[in-house]
Amino acid sequence: MRRSPTNDCRIPSALFLLLGATVLLAGCAAGQPDSITEEGDSVRSLYKWVFGLAVLIFLAVEGAILFMAVKFRRRKNDDGSLPPQIHGDNRLEAVWTITPLAIVLVLFVLAYQNINDLQAEVPADEIQALVDQDKALRVDVTGLQWVWQFAYPDFAWQNSEGDMSPVKILGENTNTIPETAGSVPTLRVPLGIPVQFKLHALDVIHSFYIPQTLYKLDAVPGRVNHFEMTFTETGIYNGQCAELCGTSHADMRFRVEVMPADDFFAWAASEQAKGETSALADIAAEEAEEAAEAEAANDDGTGTSADDSSEENTESATEETSGTETETNPASPGEATSNATDTGSGVEQADQVLSERE
Amino acid sequence: MTTHTFTPDQSPGVGAVRVTRPYRAVFLDWITTTDHKKIGTMYAIAASVFFLIGGILAGIMRIQLAIPENDFVTRDVFNQSFTMHGTIMVFLFLMPMLAALGNWMVPLQVGAADMAYPKVNALAFWMIPLGGTVLLLSYLMPNGPHAGSWVSYPPLADVSESGTAFLPGHGVDLWIGAIAILGISSTLGSINFIVTVYKMRAPGMTMLRVPIFTWTVIVQSFLAIFSLPVVTAGLAMLWISRNLGGRFFDPSAGGDPILYQHIFWYFGHPEVYILVLPVMGVVSEIIPVFSRKPLFGYKAFIFATLSIAALGTMVWAHHMFTTGAIQVHFFAFTSFLISVPTGVKMFNWTATMYKGKIEFTSAMLFALGFLMMFLIGGITGVFNATGGLDFSLHDTYFVVSHFHYVLVSAALFGLFAGFYYWFPKMSGRMLNETVGKVQFVLLFLGVNFTFLPQMLVGLDGMPRRIPTYTEEEGWGLGNLISSYGYILIALAAILFLLNVLLSMRRGKISGDNPWDAYALEWATSSPPPYYNFDRLPLIRSERPVFDENHPEAVATGDR
């Protein structure tokens, strides 16, 4: 009759104890990073609840398995008789159906509030007023293979075409911390006021992820996703693309510098002033050029080339990635006659796609 | 007590036939066979080969990630490795390996002579090596295999507006072809299982006397029939988009990349249960036998299995919370609900051991290992289900750790348990128990060393699918430990392979029913003759062989 040479419960006992110790160690280490946003604090507190319940359930069930396995092992002096053939107990089944159900319903109530916290946003008609008073900020985030670009639509100036050029942070805007590969832009955001992010993708799906905010959202072609955060800690934090986007996905990093609000707005205003100055210079140069060309045209007697010579912003997404930031890229007259839709920044392109769909 | 005592000369076939037949005849016999047992064996062999390939790919990734800023492989090779690792492990290891057990055991457990459609069965099997070959051929293509992960989201796996592919070459196309072939294979196999169980059960075997493993295979089969054609259709759309300008997922042409994600995950989440349910069935066969008791709550268990399957088709969008296109509350709620029937199963397994006389065979140890590891997988799933936490955890190593706790516990603990339990029935010989216990210890340590650190670095924000990370991020130690853990898992797998190869020839002769087990497969000889049964015991419960061997047993409790 079946008799294995050993019926040793040392293996299960030892492993179960080992597992318990490991889990306790892991439990102490298992934390998410400290959150740097108000929304992250909400996630953090949900995490504590879920983690606490998880540890309790883990210990209870693993404990029960361990207890059953060791306590009801076949003893050495076993007579070979059958143990009681218990087929089930409907009351017990009801108990351990209803108890987990109650637990997950409680968890769901917590999770429900947390989801609402994460999805809460300043209403669209109020945000403009807040932005005007420097009590909120809007950021356009654009993901493209394999770099992030950030633009502040509320800190913009008119370029020579009459379009608004926002203060932009492009991928080649390297910072002082050395990196292995890719260019790492630093997004500056103010402390303590709502920051509304709009996510755009130019090619494939990317995901905007700052681990310390305990939040990520995908940038999906054809959609503009948006979310709001209020940062609560100053400092410089890492961010990274979290959705596989091709070969250099891992190099698609960025940094977030959370600054006191006053510092931020002073910086943004100075960037805007710089942009205005250079735009004015561009416009002056252009007018001079136009005048010269008009003169030449008069000499030719054609008089139609004034429009052609206007500088179209023809930078494409790929040029931006390769690092040529040329807001006023002179184009050949033949190509430049056309549409403004092909030109402009990535954000404008994505918006264009959207409005076409609508 | 009555027993099936065994002496070698009564055995039909152990070691007697092989010698006399020429290799050519043996070869022809195997490639033309429609015998469910031989097909099952071939499934197992094919799955093992692919497991080794998938395991080597995992090794490449673990070496690359062991230290920060490593350059063991290029970014492209790394991306290809995790894509192929995921695809191979899901479609070419786990599904065929479960099909191996299903093929072997479902006809035996219902007392049938073979599957309902033996030729369809052979066809379904031969599509596995075909699909695998198509997939691996992509290694010979100019730009190598698919590098867009096993989910293959467009636009990355698609072409851009101007028609150039983001992933150049034909890796994605071959991958689509392979998944289509493997999906059709599984669909055929599933139909076969369902018909076999519905039409070919032995006299007396009502549906509520069908062994629990067979029950889980039926439910798995229904899930496969519901979900696999959906992904095949989605991948056909992707192929048309790539090659014929279909633009189904291109927003500039009115398409939507999110549409693909809905299609994929409508298959992708049930797929998890396709992989796990039969393993739960295996464990539910083993724990009662080695506790010397019936499964606690047989009917509740079937009901829980059906509930998991039903709920499993309603939760797919929890993989898509961060797309911003999902009603998070609803899918958080349905995802939470799944933990209820899963919990019922956990409690039933635990209660089965209550007042038992537990024997710690290798099969039982692996089954217990499954319970313990699966519990971790289940609990970490609740974190993701909350929705809010998922915005932090999605696409990090936390998720990688979570689903490896689920799938490795299924793929390794559950399947090892199944093979230690059923190998005697399949071969007539026992696997070495001492090796089994060493292997269990290695695997238990290996799995936790590999995947627990991944959980911690994931909580800390390490995204998945990245070939490298910088030192300042502080993920180096966790990844290094994880890579050492891989070695332990690999050792356990190699030990198992050696154990099988040696035991096939030299293992202890097992006899027909070495475990004094319950279900119908133990009523025939080991290995069974090609027609399976000379006689069938009277079937008056889900444990006919037990009833026959233990007429003295008195049933108590609610049935």
Q: Does B19 touch chain A (CB under 8 A)?
A: no
What pLDDT, on the 0 to 100 scale, is given for residue A125?
83
Residue type, position B135, single letter? L
Residue in B with minimal Cα distance to A243: B395
Per domain, the residue ranges of chain B are 40-556
Phi/psi class of residue B448: alpha, beta or left (left: φ > 0; alpha: ψ in -120 to 50)?
A: alpha
Residue in B with minimal Cα distance to A39: B388
Residue type, position B156, single letter? L
What pLDDT, on the 0 to 100 scale, is given for residue B20?
66
Helix (H, G, I), strand (E, B) or coil at B394: coil
Q: Does B355 touch chain A (CB under 8 A)?
A: yes
Contact (CB<8Å) B254/A78: no
Task: Report helix angle A38-71 to B362-385, nearest 10.
Answer: 160
Catalytic residue among B85, B242, B425, B429: B85
Contact (CB<8Å) B382/A32: no
Contact yes or no for B156/B248 (Cβ under 8 A): no
pLDDT in tens, A126-142: 888 898 888 999 999 99
Residue of A78, A76, A73, A79 whose CA lies nearest to A9:
A73
Spatial neighbors of B130 by CB under 8 A, at least 6 apart, are: B181
Terminal alpha carbon distance of chain B? 24
Q: How many CB atoms lie within 10 A of CB B327?
A: 12
- For residue A262, the number of C-alpha atoms closer than 13 Å in the C-beta half-sphere is 0
Catalytic residue among B273, B298, B349, B515: B273
The reply to whether B241 belongs to the active site is no
What pLDDT, on the 0 to 100 scale, is given for residue A305?
43
Helix (H, G, I), strand (E, B) or coil at A228: strand
Contact yes or no for B440/B369 (Cβ under 8 A): yes
Q: Which of A119, A211, A249 sits opposite B460 (nearest CB)?
A: A211
Label residue A188 by pLDDT band (50, 70, 90).
Answer: very high
The reply to whether B503 belongs to the active site is no
Residue recorded with tokens 């991928």 = A171
Q: Residues in chain B, how many?
A: 559
Task: Report helix angle B171-199 to B75-87, nearest 10.
Answer: 10
Contact (CB<8Å) A83/B356: yes
Tell me the chain B residues in contact with residue A225 when contact means C-beta distances shorter than 8 Å.
323-324
Interval A244-265 mean pLDDT = 92
% of residues, chain A, pLDDT over 90: 39
Q: Residues in chain A, how many?
A: 358
Query: Where is mean pLDDT largest: A20-24, A273-277, A292-296, A309-313?
Result: A273-277
Alpha carbons A320 and A172: distance in angstroms, whole number:
9
The reply to whether B114 belongs to the active site is yes
Contact (CB<8Å) B360/A84: no
- If contacts are CB pairs under 8 Å, which of residues 394-413 in chain B contact chain A? 394-396
DSSP letters, A60-75, are HHHHHHHHHHHHTBPP
pLDDT in tens, B179-192: 999 999 999 999 99
What pLDDT, on the 0 to 100 scale, is given for residue A183?
67
Residue of B236, B217, B260, B1 whose CA lies nearest to B108:
B217
Tell me the chain A residues in contact with residue B61 when contact means C-beta distances shorter than 8 Å.
none
Q: Which of A30, A40, A203 sits opposite B459 (nearest CB)?
A: A30
Interval B428-435 mean pLDDT = 94
Q: What is the 3-state secondary structure (H, E, C) of B413-427?
A: HHHHHHHHHHHHHHH
Beta-bridge mates of residue A199: A141, A225
Q: Does A52 touch chain B (CB under 8 A)?
A: no
Spatial neighbors of B483 by CB under 8 A, at least 6 apart, are: B62, B63, B65, B66
Look up the CATH superfamily of B40-556.
Cytochrome c oxidase-like, subunit I domain (1.20.210.10)
Label residue A68 by pLDDT band (50, 70, 90).
Answer: very high
Tell me the chain B residues in contact with residue A356 when contact means C-beta distances shorter than 8 Å.
252
Contact yes or no for B369/B411 (Cβ under 8 A): no
CA torsion through residues B50, B51, B56, B60, sign: positive
Residue type, position B54, single letter? G
DSSP letters, A125-154, are HHHHHHHHTTS-EEEEEEEETTEEEEEEEE
What pLDDT, on the 0 to 100 scale, is given for residue B110?
96
Residue of B242, B375, B365, B13 whose CA lies nearest to A61:
B375
Residue in B with minimal Cα distance to A4: B361
Residue A316 has pLDDT above 50, yes or no: no
pLDDT in tens, B305-353: 999 999 999 999 999 999 999 999 999 999 999 999 999 999 999 999 9
Distances (CA, A) of A147 to A210, B149, B382: 15, 20, 33
The reply to whether B404 belongs to the active site is no
What pLDDT, on the 0 to 100 scale, is given for residue A307?
44
Q: Does A122 touch chain B (CB under 8 A)?
A: no
Residue B21 or residue B135, greater confidence: B135
Burial of B329 (0-12, 13-18, 19+ CB in 10 A): middle
What pLDDT, on the 0 to 100 scale, is given for residue B467?
93
Instruction: Give the dihedral of Cα atoms B549, B555, B558, B559; nearest 10 deg.
Output: 20
Q: Does A214 touch chain B (CB under 8 A)?
A: yes
What pLDDT, on the 0 to 100 scale, is given for residue A312?
41
For an interface test with B, which of A2, A116, A228 has the most B Cβ atoms less than 10 Å from its Cβ? A2
What pLDDT, on the 0 to 100 scale, is given for residue A272?
87
Record the tokens describing residue A160, joined without a space.
């020579």
Alpha carbons B514 and A3: distance in angstroms, whole number:
9
Q: How close B189 comes to chain A (CA, Å)?
A: 32
Q: Which of B69, B324, B437 sits opposite A218 (nearest CB)?
A: B324
- For residue A196, the number of C-alpha atoms closer than 13 Å in the C-beta half-sphere is 22
Query: Where is mean pLDDT largest: A49-53, B157-161, B362-366?
Result: B362-366
% of residues, chain B, pLDDT over 70: 96
Label residue A9 by pLDDT band (50, 70, 90).
Answer: low
Residue A174 has pLDDT above 80, yes or no: no
- If contacts are CB pairs under 8 Å, which of residues 145-204 in chain A contact chain B? 145, 179-180, 199, 203-204
Q: Does A220 touch chain B (CB under 8 A)?
A: yes
Residue A147 or residue B463, greater confidence: B463
Tell me the chain A residues in contact with residue B441 when contact means C-beta distances shorter than 8 Å.
11, 15
Residue of A72, A8, A61, A4 whose CA lies nearest to B441:
A8
Interval A146-154 mean pLDDT = 90
What pLDDT, on the 0 to 100 scale, is given for residue B21?
75
What pLDDT, on the 0 to 100 scale, is given for residue A176?
33
pLDDT in tens, B526-539: 999 999 999 999 99
Q: Using only C-alpha atoms, what is the Rg of chain B?
A: 23
Instruction: Give the dihedral of Cα atoms B251, B252, B254, B256; nearest 10 deg.
Output: -10
Locate the DSSP E strands across B23-170: none
Burial of B350 (0-12, 13-18, 19+ CB in 10 A): buried
Contact (CB<8Å) A111/B322: no
Residue type, position B474, single letter? G
ipTM of the complex: 0.89
What pLDDT, on the 0 to 100 scale, is given for residue A308?
44
Residue of A255, A105, A127, A275 whose CA lies nearest to A183:
A255
Residue B18 has pLDDT above 60, yes or no: no
Residue A266 has pLDDT above 70, yes or no: yes
Residue B244 has pLDDT above 70, yes or no: yes
The reply to whether B342 belongs to the active site is yes
Tell me the chain A residues in contact with residue B156 when contact means C-beta distances shorter than 8 Å.
204-205, 244-246
Catalytic residue among B37, B209, B269, B404: B269
Q: How close B142 comes to chain A (CA, Å)?
A: 16
Residue A346 has pLDDT above 90, yes or no: no
Q: Does B365 touch chain A (CB under 8 A)?
A: yes
Residue B248 has pLDDT above 90, yes or no: yes
Q: What is the 3-state secondary structure (H, E, C) of B465-497?
A: CCCCCCHHHCCHHHHHHHHHHHHHHHHHHHHHH
What pLDDT, on the 0 to 100 scale, is given for residue A167?
82
Q: How close A215 comes to chain B (CA, Å)?
A: 5
Residue A157 has pLDDT above 70, yes or no: yes
Residue recorded with tokens 């596989």 = A244
Burial of A217 (0-12, 13-18, 19+ CB in 10 A): buried
Spatial neighbors of A43 by CB under 8 A, at least 6 apart, are: A32, A35, A114, A118, A214, A215, B388, B389, B391, B392
Contact yes or no for A269/A134 (Cβ under 8 A): no
- If contacts are CB pairs under 8 Å, which of residues 294-323 in chain A contact chain B? none
Contact (CB<8Å) A26/B155: no
Spatial neighbors of B251 by CB under 8 A, at least 6 apart, are: A221, A222, A223, A353, A357, B257
Least confident of A59-73, A206-220, B172-186: A59-73
Residue in B with minimal Cα distance to A64: B350
Residue type, position B270, single letter? P
What pLDDT, on the 0 to 100 scale, is given for residue B19?
55
Q: Which of A5, A62, A78 sits opposite B357 (nearest CB)?
A: A78
Helix, strand and coil in chain B, % to nearest 5: 70, 0, 30
Q: Does B368 touch chain A (CB under 8 A)?
A: yes
Q: Which of A4, A33, A65 sits opposite B460 (nearest CB)?
A: A33
Tell me the chain B residues in contact with residue A212 when contact means C-beta distances shorter than 8 Å.
461
- What are φ and ψ of residue B325, in 5° steps? -115, 20
Interval B99-117 mean pLDDT = 96
Catalytic residue among B292, B464, B465, B550: B464
% of residues, chain B, pLDDT over 90: 88
The reply to whether B185 belongs to the active site is yes
Alpha carbons B72 and B70: distance in angstroms, whole number:
6
- If contacts are CB pairs under 8 Å, which of residues 77-96 in chain A contact chain B? 78, 80, 82-90, 92-93, 96
Task: Report helix angle B95-110 to B212-244, nearest 10.
Answer: 140
Residue A327 has pLDDT above 70, yes or no: no
Contact yes or no for B80/B146 (Cβ under 8 A): yes
DSSP letters, B330-370, are HHHHHHHHHHHHHHHHHHHHHHHHTT--B---HHHHHHHHH
Contact yes or no for B383/B391 (Cβ under 8 A): no
The reply to whether B319 belongs to the active site is yes
Residue in A with minimal Cα distance to B146: A246
Residue B520 has pLDDT above 60, yes or no: yes
Residue type, position A277, single letter? T
What pLDDT, on the 0 to 100 scale, is given for residue A173?
36
Residue A318 has pLDDT above 70, yes or no: no
The reply to whether B345 belongs to the active site is yes
Tell me the chain A residues in contact with residue B421 when contact means C-beta distances shorter than 8 Å.
none
